[in-house]
Amino acid sequence: MISPDLVFLLIAGLAVLGFVLDALFDRLRVTSILPLMLVGIALLYFHVLPAGTIPLLNTLLPFLSALTIAFILFHVGLDIQFDRLYRVLGRALVFLFLVQTSTAVALALLAWSTFGWSLPIAFIFGFGLSGPSSVSVPVLVRVARMPETLGTTLLFESVVSDLLELVPPLIILELLVSGDFSTVHIAGELTLTIVGSIAVGGAAAIVWLWVLDRLGSIARTYSWTLTITMVIATYAIADYVGMSAAITIFVFGLLIGNRRHLHFDPLARLERPWETSSWSWYRFRRFLRLSVTDVDVRHIRQVQREVSFFAGAFFFVSIGLLFEFGSVTPLIIGVAVAAVFVILAIRYAATPLLSDYFSNDPKERRSDHSIAAFNISRGLSAAIVATLPLSAGLVIPGFLDATFLCILFSAVAFTVGVFLFYAPGDAPPRSQINNESEGAPVRVSEPGP
- Per-residue pLDDT of 304-357, as tens digits, reads 888 888 888 888 888 888 787 777 899 999 999 999 999 999 999 999 999 999
pLDDT digits (tens, 9 = 90+) for 30-85: 888 999 899 988 888 887 777 667 777 777 777 888 888 889 889 998 888 888 88
Residue 141 lies in a domain: no
pLDDT digits (tens, 9 = 90+) for 220-267: 677 788 889 999 999 999 989 888 888 899 999 998 888 766 554 444
Neighbours of 83 (CB within 10 A): 15
How high is the pLDDT of residue 117?
92
The mean-pLDDT minimum among 35-39, 133-137, 174-178, 364-368 falls in: 174-178
Check which CATH number belongs to the domain holding 21 and give it. Answer: 1.20.1530.20
Residue 287 lies in a domain: yes
Which residues have a Cβ under 8 Å from the Cβ of 157 and sit 6 or more positions away?
92, 95, 96, 131, 132, 137
The more confident residue out of 440 and 430 is 430
* Residue type for position 103: T
pTM, two decimal places: 0.82
* Residue type for position 306: E
Residue 444 lies in a domain: no
Residue 445 lies in a domain: no
d(CA 396, CA 386): 10
Classify residue 222 by its DSSP letter: T
Neighbours of 86 (CB within 10 A): 14
Residue 142 lies in a domain: no
How high is the pLDDT of residue 184?
67
pLDDT digits (tens, 9 = 90+) for 400-425: 899 999 999 999 999 999 999 888 76
Residue 297 lies in a domain: yes
Which residue range(s) make up the domain with 166?
Answer: 6-133+148-433
- What are the b/e assignments for 301-320, b being 16+ CB within 10 Å? bebbbebbbbbbbbbbbbbb
pLDDT digits (tens, 9 = 90+) for 263-303: 544 444 545 554 444 455 556 656 666 555 556 677 788 88
d(CA 229, CA 232): 5
Domain total for the chain?
1
Q: Across all residues in the chain, what is the average pLDDT?
A: 82
pLDDT band at 431 (very low <50, low <70, confident <90, very high): low
Residue 139 lies in a domain: no
| Percent share of the chain, pLDDT over 70 | 82
pLDDT exceeds 70 at position 131 = yes
How high is the pLDDT of residue 292?
53
How high is the pLDDT of residue 132?
93
**C-alpha pair distances (Å), 38 with each of 33, 55, 137, 351, 380:** 9, 19, 18, 29, 15
Indicate the angle between helix axes 297-320 and 33-45, nearest 10 degrees.
40
Residue 324 lies in a domain: yes
- What are the b/e assignments for 208-224, b being 16+ CB within 10 Å? bbeebbebeeebeeebe
How high is the pLDDT of residue 309?
87
Which residues have a Cβ under 8 Å from the Cβ of 47 and sit 6 or more positions away?
none
